[in-house]
C-alpha cells in the first residue's frame, strides 16, 4: 500500500526527513531510522536522472538503500521528461523504493543552469506538468511526488503551480516555504502552504524551519498540512523524529550515535572518508545542541581536524 495512504488512514501526520544532497545518504538515513524508529519517511538525497539513465555506477550506488531504512523515497532531478521517466523506471526496477520524488525546488546554479532542472521548472509550469505526466505514464505502483518551493520570485506562484502538478497526476507535494530568489534567507512562510493545502486534494507536506517537536506541532496547526518535512533540523539530530528518546538524551547517547554513524560512513565511503564526516560532526556538536558541555569550543575544533576513526574515538572517550 502507498505509504501515504497508510499514513493518512492512520490519521497521523506524515513526518519526513527532507532530501539533502551529500547529507541524507545511506549512513545518515540508517542512523536516523535506528535512532528514531519507523514513524517517519526518508527522502534520500537527489540523484541525476541523466546519470541514472546512463547507468552511472556512483549515482546508482547513491540510490541504493538498506531494507531497514524503509519507507524510502528516492528523489531525482532533471529537465527532460523522457529522461526523468526512464530514470524513474530504472530506479523502481532496481531498488523498489516506496516513492519517487521529482526535484522542482533546488536553487543551485549547477541544477538550474544548463540542465534547467530543480527550481527552473517553476518558471515553466507546462514543462513541469509534462514531466509529472511522463513519469506517471510509467504506471509504477508507488506514489510520484514533487518537492518544490513557493515560486521563483513571487511566493504566490505556488497557488497556480501546485494545482497544475495535481492535475498532471502528482500523488503529493512537499513545499519549502520560500522562493528560489530567497534561497535560505528570511523565514519560511507556512501560511501560504496552508492556502495551498486548502486548494489541493492530494497530500501536502510543509517544509522549512522546523527545528523541534514544538515546531512540528506549530507548523501542522498553521498549515493544516498532511505532514511536515524536516531538513537542517535533523542534521546531527536524528532524535528529532522521536520525542520519547529525546527525553533521555545525554552526552553518552550523543557519543554512541556519532560513533555508530561514523562507522557506517567509513564502511560506505572507505578508509579516507573521516574527513568528509566532519560536516556531520559540525551539526552534532553545534553550539545550541550541546549547550551544557564543558570545553565545547576546544572539542569542536579538535573534531573539525580528525582524519581517522581512532582520533574520533579518543575525543568522544573524553566527553563521555
Ligand atoms: C545541505 C542541503 C542539501 C539539500 N539538498 C536537497 C536535495 O537534494 N533535494 C531537495 O529537494 N532539497 C534539498 N535541500 C532543501 C531541503 O530539502 C529543504 O527543503 C530545506 O533545507 C528547507 O528545510 P529545513 O528548513 O527543514 O532545512 C537541501 C538543503 C540543504 C541544507
Distance CA 312, CA 31 (A): 17
State the pLDDT at residue 245. 54
Vertex 304 angle, CA 303 and 310, to 5°: 45
Which tens digit of pLDDT belongs to each residue from 123-163? 999 999 999 999 999 999 999 999 999 999 999 999 999 99
Relative to the CA of 18, which ligand 1 atom is closest? 17
Q: How many CB atoms lie within 10 A of CB 70?
A: 15
* Ligand 1 pocket test target in 17, 21, 212 with most atoms within 8 Å of CB: 21
Q: Is 219 in the pocket of ligand 1 (CB under 6 A)?
A: no
Residue 174 has pLDDT above 70, yes or no: yes
Q: How many CB atoms lie within 10 A of CB 139?
A: 7
- Which residue of the set 29, 32, 63, 106 is catalytic? 106
Q: Is 21 in the pocket of ligand 1 (CB under 6 A)?
A: yes
Which tens digit of pLDDT belongs to each residue from 283-301? 999 988 887 788 888 999 9
Distance CA 84, CA 90 (A): 10
Q: Is 209 in the pocket of ligand 1 (CB under 6 A)?
A: yes
On whether the CB atoms of residues 24 and 44 are closer than 8 A, the answer is yes
Give the pLDDT band (50/70/90) at residue 248: low
Q: What is the pLDDT of the chain when averaged over all its residues?
A: 94
Relative to the CA of 178, which ligand 1 atom is closest? 22
Q: How many Å lie between the centroid of ligand 1 and the Cα of residue 229?
A: 10
Q: How many Å lie between the centroid of ligand 1 and the Cα of residue 73?
A: 14
| pTM, rounded to two decimals | 0.96
Relative to the CA of 230, which ligand 1 atom is closest? 26
Q: Crossing angle of helices 125-136/158-168, nearest 10°?
A: 30
Residue 27 has pLDDT above 80, yes or no: yes
Nearest Cα residue to atom 28 of ligand 1: 20
Active site residue 106: yes
Of residues 264 and 289, which shows the higher confidence score? Answer: 264
Amino acid at each position: 500500500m502507498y505509504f501515504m495512504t497508510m499514513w493518512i488512514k492512520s490519521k497521523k501526520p506524515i513526518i519526513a526527513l527532507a532530501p539533502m544532497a551529500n547529507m541524507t545518504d545511506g549512513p545518515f538515513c540508517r542512523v536516523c531510522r535506528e535512532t528514531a524508529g519507523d514513524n517517519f519517511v526518508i527522502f534520500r538525497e537527489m540523484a541525476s536522472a541523466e546519470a541514472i539513465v546512463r547507468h552511472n555506477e556512483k549515482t546508482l550506488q547513491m540510490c541504493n538503500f538498506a531494507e531497514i531504512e524503509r519507507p524510502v523515497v528516492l528523489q531525482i532531478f532533471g529537465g527532460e521528461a523522457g529522461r526523468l521517466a526512464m530514470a524513474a523506471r530504472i530506479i523502481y526496477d532496481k531498488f523498489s523504493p516506496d516513492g519517487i520524488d521529482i526535484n522542482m525546488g533546488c536553487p543551485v546554479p549547477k541544477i538550474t543552469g544548463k540542465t534547467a532542472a530543480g527550481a527552473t521548472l517553476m518558471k515553466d509550469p507546462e514543462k513541469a506538468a509534462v514531466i509529472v505526466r511522463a513519469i506517471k505514464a510509467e504506471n509504477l505502483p508507488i506514489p510520484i511526488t514533487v518537492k518544490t518551493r513557493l515560486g521563483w520570485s513571487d511566493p504566490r506562484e505556488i497557488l497556480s503551480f501546485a494545482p497544475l502538478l495535481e492535475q498532471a497526476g502528482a500523488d503529493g507535494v512537499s513545499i519549502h516555504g520560500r522562493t528560489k530568489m530567497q534561497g535560505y534567507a528570511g523565514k519560511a512562510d507556512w501560511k501560504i502552504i496552508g492556502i495551498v493545502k486548502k486548494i489541493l486534494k492530494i497530500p501536502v507536506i510543509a517544509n522549512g524551519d522546523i527545528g523541534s517537536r514544538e515546531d512540528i506541532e506549530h507548523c501542522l496547526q498553521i498549515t493544516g498540512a498532511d505532514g511536515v518535512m524536516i531538513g537542517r533540523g535533523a542534521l546531527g539530530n536524528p532524535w528529532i523524529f522521536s520525542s520519547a528518546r529525546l527525553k533521555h538524551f545525554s552526552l553518552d547517547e550523543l557519543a554512541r550515535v556519532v560513533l555508530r554513524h561514523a562507522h557506517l560512513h567509513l564502511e560506505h565511503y572507505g578508509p579516507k572518508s573521516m574527513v568528509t564526516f566532519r560536516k556531520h560532526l559540525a551539526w552534532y556538536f553545534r553550539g545550541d545542541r550541546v549547550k551544557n558541555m564543558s570545553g565545547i569550543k576546544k572539542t569542536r575544533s579538535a573534531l573539525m581536524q580528525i582524519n581517522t576513526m581512532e582520533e574520533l574515538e579518543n575525543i568522544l572517550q573524553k566527553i563521555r
